[in-house]
A = this chain, B = another copy of it.
């Protein structure tokens, strides 16, 4: 069985056995890994294993894997660390080759007992040709198959995959992303990477039809050269976005304690990103914001943007934020400026770039005219709208926000003829009014395929990551 075949079977299991299901449950509920899988709605055959029970909560239990009526596609270990070696031998004897070890207490502890145990189970796994995810990890999340070995994850599926060396991050990242309408094909947490490492999952996801974008949280990598070759190749077809943890001195020490990995040098990883064109995320949140541009924007664009907003100080902040994110705000031609000045007063407004002209947002015609003028400027590649939602606060403003969202989603894309447009909003007020208006704005814009962000920093960073990806892809293709 190839690694890809093994993973195909583990991601789409017809049957799962769980080792370490408590024999007695006081409240009649299931607990631990068995409960997670059952509660998420796994529809396949699910076997509890407990050597001291013949039945748990009315379901037949088995003493070991050999006693099962079939070879299961996935065995989940939720047993004490010292019991793992014997259980791996049971996997081998029973012919169940695919294992997820949730159990921790191995190399990551840094303590002699844990180090010794990890060495022992690695020898068994290699000798017996077992495919092991973990130990010290949360495992699988495949919403399409109603499979999740972790609690707090959305039910809905989507085109993004996530390979993570932190299980908590799978819950955090999938929940956070769902706020932006972003859902997942598969996520996998692989902890100490006993036999299967990030590169194995990457190869699998490259050929997985349900996956369009691959995100990763990495602490350490066993075979850096292999990751580089693979990531570069796959990234040219499917965008790969990586959050690398532990690139500071304190972070690197934390990585050793968390998954017993070597974090690697910052310089080496800088080169990795430069040479592969893989997109670099700075945090889990940054990775989710970046996904919005990758999912919604089409084609490609350069890094010269026009910012159209309301507020002068915030126009300056917008320009600074774009610059910091690697975007540029070219000046408009005097022709464009004088055309804008036909309907935008000089006093209290800015008509160069950024454009600060609150009034055009109250007037569909003027907003369309503004974009028409800007779109005729050949030096502008992309557009950011910056809204201040406190200006819309007060009940009865729903219609204004809906009308604005309709203009942005329906007529502006026609005017821009394929040039990318993203929207950012800010609000410092604390009323429920504004929250309601923001919810309307976000759902209308995303429904119409326009990425929308809280704060211009996020919008600029997301757009810039997408622009850089397109450019790097071109640059690397030319070179190879």
Partner-B contacts on A (CB < 8 A): 81, 103-105, 109-111, 114, 136, 152, 164-169, 171-173, 175-176, 178-179, 217, 219, 245-251, 253-255, 257-259, 283-285, 311-320, 322-324, 328-329, 331, 345-348, 350-354, 356, 388, 390, 426, 428-430, 455, 457
Contacts and interface: CB of A to CB of B under 8 A. Distances in A.
A186 B174 CA distance: 44
Contacts of A103: 347
B316 A175 contact: no
B323 A250 contact: yes
A329 B428 contact: no
A136 B318 CA distance: 20
Given A428-B176, A429-B175, A251 B284 contact: no
16 contacts: A103-B347, A105-B345, A105-B346, A152-B429, A168-B311, A169-B314, A175-B429, A246-B316, A248-B323, A249-B323, A251-B319, A253-B329, A254-B315, A254-B318, A254-B354, A255-B316
A118 to B, nearest CB: 12
B429 A250 contact: no
B105 A347 contact: yes
A316 B114 contact: no
A-B interface, 8 closest residue pairs, ranked by CB to CB distance from nearest:
A166-B313, A105-B347, A248-B323, A251-B320, A250-B329, A109-B346, A250-B319, A175-B428
A234 B179 CA distance: 45
| Copies of this protein in the complex | 2
Given A172-B428, A313-B258, A253 B319 contact: yes
Given A168-B311, A258-B315, 5 more contacts: A136-B348, A165-B313, A176-B428, A219-B313, A247-B320
Contact of A347 (B109, B171, B217, B347): B109
A164 B317 CA distance: 13
A214 B248 CA distance: 33
Given A319-B250, A346-B114, A428-B171, A245 B324 contact: no
A246 B250 CA distance: 33
A299 to B, nearest CB: 24
Contacts of A259: 312
A330 to B, nearest CB: 8
Contacts of A312: 166, 168, 258-259
Contacts of A246: 316, 319-320
Contacts of A348: 104-105, 136
Contacts of A173: 428
A345 to B, nearest CB: 8
Nearest to A455: B285
Given A105-B346, A111-B346, A248-B319, A313 B175 contact: no
Contacts of A178: 430
Interface centre among A172, A250, A323 (most CB of B within 10 A): A250
A179 B430 contact: yes
Nearest to A106: B347
Contacts of A81: 347
B219 A316 contact: yes
A189 to B, nearest CB: 9
Contacts of A285: 455
Contacts of A328: 249-250
Contacts of A253: 319, 329, 331, 352-353
A245 B320 contact: yes
Contacts of A171: 390, 428
Contact of A257 (B317, B322, B350, B429): B350
A46 to B, nearest CB: 24
Interface centre among A178, A313, A317, A345 (most CB of B within 10 A): A313
A250 B283 contact: no
A283 to B, nearest CB: 7
A165 to B, nearest CB: 7
Nearest to A347: B105
A439 to B, nearest CB: 11
Contact of A250 (B313, B320, B346, B388): B320
A312 B392 CA distance: 41
